[in-house]
Amino acid sequence: MDQMANAMDMLHGYYFEDLEEGMVDVFAKTVTDADIITFAGISGDTNPVHLNHEFASETMFEGRIAHGMLTASFISTVIGTKMPGPGCIYVSQNLRFKAPVRSGDTVSARCTITKLIPEKRFIEMKTECLVGNKVVVDGEATIMVPTRVS
C-alpha cells in the first residue's frame, strides 16, 4: 500500500502547507488557427468574429480574434497542472477581457498567490494573461487546496 500512496503523491500538486503568498507560476502557448477552430467546435461558440475573416474584418478588431475563454483557459492550465496543481478544486474566477488575442500570439498565463485562508484551505490568486508585456485578461481566482493531513 505504501507504494500506491507514493505513486499517488507523485501525481499530486502542491499541498496547502507548501504554499506561500507571492508564489507565481506560468504557462505559455502560441495560439493557432487550429486552436481557435477546435475551441469553437468544443464550446459551440461559432461567433464569426472568431471564424470568418470577412465578417471579422468589418468589426472594431479589424480581423479574426481568439475566443476570450480560450485565452482564459490557460489560467486553468496553470491552476490545474502547475500551481497548486493536481488535486486542487477551482471555486471561483472573475475575468476582465482587456485586449484581443489573435492567431500567432503567444499568451502567457500567470497566477500569483495573494492570500491563504487556512480555515477553508482556500487560496486566492491574481490571474492574468499577457501577450508580450500587454495584459489581455486579468482577474482573481479562489482555489481549494488539499492538505497533507486530513
Between CA 29 and CA 144 the distance in angstroms is 26
- What are the residues whose beta carbons fall under 8 Å from the beta carbon of 22, sequence distance 6 or more? 112, 113
Amino acid 103: pLDDT: 98
pTM beyond 0.85: the answer is yes
- pLDDT band at residue 11 using 50, 70 and 90 as cut-offs: confident
Q: pLDDT of 77-129, one tens digit each?
A: 999 999 999 999 999 999 999 999 999 999 999 999 999 999 999 999 999 99
Give the chain's domains with CATH numbers.
2-32+74-144 (3.10.129.10)
Q: What is the DSSP string of 54-123?
A: HHHHTSTTSS----HHHHHHHHHHIIIIISS-TT-EEEEEEEEE-S---TTPEEEEEEEEEEEETTTTEE
- Residue pair 127/109 in contact (Cβ under 8 Å)? The answer is yes
Between CA 99 and CA 102 the distance in angstroms is 10
Q: Which residue has the cell 500538486?
A: 13
Helix axes 68-77, 33-43, angle to 10 degrees: 90
Amino acid 89: pLDDT: 97
